[in-house]
Amino acid sequence: MHMLKFRMRYWILQGEIWTLEVEGRGYIAHKLIAKSLTEFVREERRTVKVLDIGVGTGLVGVELQKLGFHTIDGLDPSQPMLEKARAKHVYTNLFCQYFTAGPTPGLDKDSYDVIISAGSLIRGHLPTDCFIEAARIVRPGGIICMLTRTEGSGSFNESGYQDQFRTVIKQLEEEKKLEEIKWEQLNYNSSSNGIMMAYRVLQ
């Protein structure tokens, strides 16, 4: 019980810190990732089924909806964040879960056309092997598109995180489960760069 209370306080605090970060540091990754996705999705956007991982307060979903995506689910381990996302009325289903390399309870193989994520592919958030599960959930021909911070403390480039991530990707490419579409340097916020990566799921 004590642990549960502690965890809830932690996530409420994280939510407040995140809101300050977004407002104070000119965060734009949510806008840029949504725009990037439109390069890779050729189908009728309204019916494309998207899962936003590390949904946070729902900023990515709002941008996706502006661009014509209407079937959007979200996943985040923080209930307070999810409540803020829910209040934006752009998500169909919201799952309170950690995303890892292992099967996500309730999410079937090939159940989404697209996985999108902004700001979560860093140590302490998504594990470096999470594309194993992303490739399972996205149907063959579907897209995984993520944008993450490459500068500043705890970024994608620090503590061997990127190297470990690339080792897993190389393995998935060798197994013909994924193919790279694009890596591109984009802004993350007003003081840091980020990297946008897009992959097509093959099987």
Ligand X SMILES: C[S@@+](CC[C@H](N)C(=O)[O-])C[C@H]1O[C@@H](n2cnc3c(N)ncnc32)[C@H](O)[C@@H]1O
| Residue of 196, 188, 191, 193 lying closest to 28 (CA atoms) | 188
Site string for ligand X, 64-103 (x = CB under 6 A): -----------xxxx--x----------------xx----
**Residue of the chain from 32, 34, 41, 60 that contacts ligand X (CB under 6 A):** 60
Q: State the nearest-atom distance from the C-beta of 2 to ligand X, in Å.
A: 21
Cα distance between residue 148 and residue 186, in whole Å: 9
Residues that bind ligand X (rule: CB under 6 A) add up to a total of: 22
Residues 6+ apart with CB under 8 A from 188: 27, 28, 29, 119, 147, 148, 149, 150, 151, 194
Q: State the nearest-atom distance from the C-beta of 95 to ligand X, in Å.
A: 9
Per the CB < 8 A criterion, the answer to whether 60 and 75 are in contact is: no
Binding status of residue 30 toward ligand X by CB under 6 A: yes
Q: State the nearest-atom distance from the C-beta of 153 to ligand X, in Å.
A: 13
Where residue 110 falls (left for φ over 0; alpha for ψ -120 to 50; beta otherwise) is: left
* 34 or 172: CB nearest ligand X: 34
Binding status of residue 50 toward ligand X by CB under 6 A: no
Binding status of residue 126 toward ligand X by CB under 6 A: yes
CB-nearest residue to ligand X: 56
Give the torsion through C-alpha atoms of 199, 50, 34, 169, to 10 deg.
-20
Residue 195's SS3 state is: strand
Sign of CA dihedral 158, 164, 170, 176: negative
Q: State the nearest-atom distance from the C-beta of 170 to ligand X, in Å.
A: 22
Binding status of residue 161 toward ligand X by CB under 6 A: no
* 185 or 203: CB nearest ligand X: 185
For ligand X, the binding residues (CB under 6 A) are 18, 29-30, 53-57, 59-60, 75-78, 81, 98-99, 118-120, 125-126
